[in-house]
Amino acid sequence: MEILVCVKRVPDTAENEIEIKSDGTDIKRDDLVYSVNEWDNYAVEEAIQIRDKVGGSVTVITVGDEEGEEVLRRQMAMGADNGILLSDSAFEGSDGRGIATILKAAVEKGKYDLIMTGAQADDGAAQVGGMLAAMLDLPYASLVNKVEVDNGKLKVGREIEGGNQEMNEIELPCVLSIQTGINEPRYVGIRGIRKVASVEIPTLAAGDLGIDAATVGAGAARVKRVDYFTPEMGEGAEILEGSMEEKIDKLIELLKAKGGLK
Amino acid sequence: METALTPPSGLGILAILLSLVIVGLGVGAFTYILAKRIRPLFKAAPDFRKDRIFTRISNTFNLPHHRMPRYFLAGAIHITILIGFIVLSLRWISMVVMGFSADPYLPWHFAIVGDVYDVIRNIVATAVLVACIVAIVRRAYFRPERYEVPERFGKSHTPEAIFGVALIAALMVLDMMFEGSMVAAERQQDMAAKFLLPGTGVWFASLFFGAASQGTLQVVHGVSFYLHMVVFFGFLVYLPFGRLFHLVMSLPTLMAMKLDKGTVKPVRWGVDDDKLDSLESFGVKKFEDFTWKHMLDFYACADCGRCSDNCPANAVGRPLSPRFITIKCREYAKAAYPLQGAIKESVPLIGNVLEEDEIWSCTTCGACEEECPLLIEYIDKMVDLRRGMVDEGMVPQSLQKPLSAIEKRGNPWGKMEKKRAEWTKAIAEEVPVKEVNGKEEAETLFFVDSITSFDDRMQLIGQATAKLLHTAGEDFGILGKDEKDSGNEVRRFGEEMLFQDLKDHNTEMIKGSGAQRIVTADPHAFNALKHDYKDLPPVEHISQYLARRIREGKYNFKALQNGHKVYTYHDPCYLGRHNNLYDEPRAVIDALPGVKRVDMERCRDRSFCCGGGGLMLFYEPEEEQRMGVLRVKMAQEAGANVIVTACPFCLVNMEDAIKVAGLEGQMEAIDLAELVAQHLDE
């Protein structure tokens, strides 16, 4: 099975303190560290497991600048066979639809049976998977937490209320958006990354993909970001101050006072 | 020479032929099996054990005999039998030769030497027989707990253990019968009977057979001789099948012992750190990836159970039992390299022989290695197996996050580098702490490491340490944002390349700082800087520093008004067992006026791990209870109500354990530096 997994390089939420620039145009990026979006990491692991079971290959793809290569290499160290970087100044500032447009062009240049995305990105809005499927006119299952390959079809699962599981059948080729927890992604060590450090990763620009630059990028974005701000504290909200110990003590006090703890 | 009974070699050509067959079959089978057993050693990874030969010889003869009596009865039994084997080896040579010649010309047979040797060997043989009987009774009826085999590891080893000892007892009894029957016959014939020391086994035998007829005595003499021969060579052939293989393997294993505590073996001996990228595979994935010394370890294990008896992971019900790491690998080696037929294709150890959780359960505390009378290594094997798992991506999710955070931010919490020195702000007025990066210099570098830099509670250790350095007039500074995690556990959890990056970075920063010496309050950092890093200025743990400065009279102490407090010192593994620092921290505590200190039963080199430091804080083990809880209870049993540690990780675990054990208000934990700082008279 030929599998394409769309991945994204995002600020690592576990290892950054996200603060907003005073002018509200962006978050402060000077001290940020980046990694592959967590949901995408699960998608790549799932793709590798499917490939190991039924054969084929896994390609990871991302839209971004040269630094996007870093996440592609990490996913290749994990076990993906190929990486493709989609990079062009014309792509900058694309909204979700723009990104889906770029990815669609790249998908059509290859021949894939299965396209996977993360269910959402840490810094995203969970748009691309669905839009990409619609643009490709392919069946789409979202929030997938289980994949079984079954004679040229897939059975895909989704968690529903109460911890129950729903199973759906879907024809190939299709697009899946993958939920975290579907598997346990393997560890990628420094050594693994070094081993793929010199593997060639092709970079495709708008021209290579046959994309009209006017249909993507900031200019074509129909959803435009206008502001970032920290919300005012609402009525009834309280932010505990002090050291960790003090905060915990206050929290316990509050819980006890309101009868939450006995 | 006229003898009272016909000696075995005088019974005719068939008797001599029988001797020949027994010796031939015995030696032949033993050699064949031995050759088959050591085959994997030739396919093993290289190991370097040829240095410091005199230390090796001296350790080989000293260490096991210091360690055996740590379990007193077992040790006494074993030392008796061991001495027996050494003394009786000459007798056994005589016995074999007697199968062919009535009066062998062997040097220990003549004149006074022969007489003295005979008396000594008869005493020794009697002692061995008694030791064997005690051993069998102890094993069969008293059943010390450490010999039990948990169900998941198979059947009881007791029958095998008793069988081996019974063979030794049989050798003793048969020799007593052989010699006793001859002396009885000599007495009956009024010949000059050989002197037998009253009370020895052979003396009893001679009395027992005193009234037997000449014919009976002749039969006893002959039959006991050939039975002895069969049991002796049977014993030899049986050795390579189980625990008794240690009779053969212990000497080479001991000679090849690991000499440098606190270190971790390189990924591959002979490959320098900067050539690691050239290796195809990392760590131990299949049996043949072990080094030959580590394979020897498997064969040398006597199955005494002391490792697991001291293993904290085993004590709290984690899946790990070091004893069975060895036993399972040994069984694998025997099955994969069979006595007959082709060598089996090697399979991945993890999943087939060992389990992931088993290997991650180890805190690398070193209690097993400290106890093993054969100095079998476990930590290096754990590290090698982890290297293999890391290379295959088999790392629990709970460890992936901190590893990735260390890679990106230099600390396992993923905190920002620039906040690494924030702990100094709270004491800035009283104790100014310099950051030595380029502009400012300091004579002494305080290597803080991650937990003391970032954990709210452990920052107090950093602040106390800084205060103590300042009070002693030390010109010191920290690396601040340029410091990264020392990587002690990164390396011991198998992520060698990340460790190499951390080491290279820290080494460059430390050297660039111009510091003349390093002090740290974190034993894990201390261990890494001292053993894993190269060419750094000398490193001291704060306990050594304080002991030295107290001797120099740099501090004035006052007594505290807390007469009800009884202190006990918990030896951190990376200070004690891995670096032999037991006395300095105690000397520091004892220098404080009015401090009453007691030791726990398990202290010093038998200290019980708090639960593990570094990445072990993040690992979520399967366990029935926490190591720290057990440790806190041990402190309580010792009559203490304050646990003094000298390691931030111990402090985390102890404070948590006090809460979990419900001992808040009755027990507290404090770091050595904090305790000393409390007593400063300013």
Asked if A245 lies within 8 A of B498 by C-beta distance, the reply is no
Question: Residue B491 above 70 pLDDT?
Answer: yes
So what's the pLDDT on residue B517?
A: 97
Question: Residue B74 above 90 pLDDT?
Answer: yes
Of B306, B341, B339, give the one whose Cα is nearest residue B323. Answer: B306
* Strand arrangement of the beta sheet that strand B539-541 belongs to: B434-435, B476-478, B444-447, B517-520, B539-541
The reply to whether A177 and A153 lie within a common domain is: yes
Asked if B414 lies within 8 A of A16 by C-beta distance, the reply is yes
Asked if A78 lies within 8 A of B393 by C-beta distance, the reply is yes
Q: Are B579 and B522 in contact (CB under 8 A)?
A: no
Picking from A13, A28, A190 by the largest number of B CB atoms within 10 A of its own CB, the best residue to mutate is: A190
The reply to whether A136 and A98 lie within a common domain is: yes
Q: Are B197 and B119 in contact (CB under 8 A)?
A: yes
Of A78, A136, A127, give the one whose Cα is nearest residue A107. Answer: A136
Chain B contact present for A48, CB below 8 A: no
Q: Which residue has the tokens 């979202």?
A: A142
Tell me the one-letter amino acid at B469.
L
Bridge partners of A5? A60, A116
Band of the pLDDT at A16, cuts 50, 70, 90?
Answer: confident
Residue numbers in A near B408 (CB within 8 A): 12, 15, 33, 35
Q: What is the SS3 assignment for B217?
A: helix
Question: Residue A23 above 90 pLDDT?
Answer: no
Band of the pLDDT at B302, cuts 50, 70, 90?
Answer: very high
* Mean per-residue pLDDT, A191-203: 93
Mean pLDDT for all residues in chain B: 95
What do you get for the CA distance between the two ends of chain A, in Å? 56
Written as one string, the DSSP assignment of B422-452 is GGGGGGTTTS--EE-SSS---SEEEE--HHH
So what's the pLDDT on residue B488?
A: 97
Domain-located, residue A67: yes
Chain A contact present for B414, CB below 8 A: yes
The reply to whether A196 and A262 lie within a common domain is: no
The reply to whether A60 and A189 lie within a common domain is: yes
Question: Residue B308 above 70 pLDDT?
Answer: yes
Band of the pLDDT at B513, cuts 50, 70, 90?
Answer: very high
Band of the pLDDT at B106, cuts 50, 70, 90?
Answer: confident
The reply to whether A142 and A241 lie within a common domain is: no
Out of A33, A185, A245, closest to residue B408 by CB: A33
So what's the pLDDT on residue B407?
A: 95
CA angle B433, B439, B445 (to 5 degrees): 45
So what's the pLDDT on residue B519?
A: 98
Q: What are phi and psi of B597, to 5 degrees?
A: -125, 135
Chain B contact present for A33, CB below 8 A: yes
The reply to whether A169 and A247 lie within a common domain is: no
Q: What share of chain B is helix, strand, coil (3-state, %, to 5)?
A: 60, 5, 35
Residue numbers in A near B501 (CB within 8 A): 190
Question: Residue B143 above 80 pLDDT?
Answer: yes
Of B104, B135, B609, give the one whose Cα is nearest residue B369. Answer: B609
* Mean per-residue pLDDT, A233-250: 87
- Cα–Cα distance, B220 to B177 (Å, whole number): 7
CA angle A78, B487, B323 (to 5 degrees): 85
- Cα–Cα distance, A210 to A128 (Å, whole number): 20
Q: Are A142 and A119 in contact (CB under 8 A)?
A: yes
Band of the pLDDT at B193, cuts 50, 70, 90?
Answer: confident
Bridge partners of B592? none
* Mean per-residue pLDDT, B510-526: 96
B623-647 pLDDT, tens digit per residue, is 999 999 999 999 999 999 999 999 9
Chain B contact present for A136, CB below 8 A: no
Question: Residue B500 above 90 pLDDT?
Answer: yes
For residue A107, give every residue at least 6 positions away whose Cβ sits within 8 Å of its Cβ, in sequence order, or none. Answer: A4, A115, A132, A136
Q: What is the SS3 assignment for B588?
A: helix
- Chain A's closest residue to B395, CA to CA, is A187
Residue numbers in A near B409 (CB within 8 A): 15, 33
So what's the pLDDT on residue A103?
A: 97
B381-437 pLDDT, tens digit per residue, is 999 999 999 999 999 999 999 999 999 999 999 999 999 999 999 999 999 999 997
So what's the pLDDT on residue A259?
A: 82
Bridge partners of B477? B434, B445
Kind and range of the H or E run holding B134: helix B111-137
How close B417 gets to chain A, by Cα (Å)? 9
How close A192 gets to chain B, by Cα (Å)? 7
The reply to whether A140 and A253 lie within a common domain is: no
Out of B282, B416, B456, closest to residue A31 by CB: B416
- Look up residue A251 and give its two tokens: 């929290």
- Chain A's closest residue to B417, CA to CA, is A31
- Look up residue A11 and give its two tokens: 């600020």
Q: Are A179 and A144 in contact (CB under 8 A)?
A: yes
B334-352 pLDDT, tens digit per residue, is 999 999 999 999 999 999 9
The total domain count for chain A is 2
Q: What are phi and psi of B304, to 5 degrees?
A: -80, -15
Domain with A259 in it: 236-262
Question: Residue B293 above 90 pLDDT?
Answer: yes
Question: Residue B1 above 70 pLDDT?
Answer: no
Q: What percent of chain A has pLDDT over 90?
A: 75
Question: Residue B242 above 70 pLDDT?
Answer: yes
The reply to whether A207 and A249 lie within a common domain is: no
Report pTM. Answer: 0.94
The reply to whether A149 and A190 lie within a common domain is: yes
Buried b (16+ CB within 10 A) or exposed e, B624-642: eebbbbbbbbbbbebebbb
Domain-located, residue A49: yes
For residue B192, give every residue at least 6 positions away whose Cβ sits within 8 Å of its Cβ, in sequence order, or none. Answer: B186
Residue numbers in A near B416 (CB within 8 A): 16-17, 31
B409-551 in CATH: which number? Answer: 3.40.50
Out of A16, A186, A245, closest to residue B393 by CB: A186
Give the CATH number of the domain where residue A134 resides. 3.40.50.620
Domain-located, residue A9: yes
Burial class (CB in 10 A: 0-12, 13-18, 19+), B169: buried
* Mean per-residue pLDDT, B192-216: 93
How close B458 gets to chain A, by Cα (Å)? 12
* Mean per-residue pLDDT, B291-298: 98
Band of the pLDDT at A135, cuts 50, 70, 90?
Answer: very high
Chain A contact present for B198, CB below 8 A: no
Tell me the one-letter amino acid at B342.
A
So what's the pLDDT on residue B284?
A: 98
Q: Which residue has the tokens 């699960």?
A: A42
B120-140 pLDDT, tens digit per residue, is 999 999 999 999 999 999 999
Strand A140-150 versus strand A153-160 pairing type: antiparallel
Chain A contact present for B407, CB below 8 A: yes
Domain-located, residue A228: no
**ω into B593 cis (within 30 of 0):** no
Distance, CA of B657 to chain centre: 26
- Cα–Cα distance, B478 to B501 (Å, whole number): 20
The reply to whether A262 and A158 lie within a common domain is: no
Q: In this structure, what DSSP letter does residue B274 have?
A: G
Written as one string, the DSSP assignment of B51-101 is S-HHHHHHHHHHHHHHHGGGSHHHHHHHHHHHHHHHHHHHHHHHHHHHTT-
Assigned CATH topology for domain B12-245: Fumarate Reductase Cytochrome B subunit (1.20.950)
CA dist B124 to B86, B91, B118, Å?
A: 10, 11, 10
Q: Are A8 and A70 in contact (CB under 8 A)?
A: no
> Is 3.30.70 the CATH number for B282-397?
no
The reply to whether A122 and A199 lie within a common domain is: yes
Q: Pick the residue with more confidence: B285 or B437?
A: B285
The reply to whether A240 and A209 lie within a common domain is: no
Out of B277, B390, B405, closest to residue A187 by CB: B390
B30-65 pLDDT, tens digit per residue, is 999 999 999 999 999 999 999 999 999 999 999 999
Q: At how many degrees (to 10) do helices B648-660 and B627-637 cross? A: 80
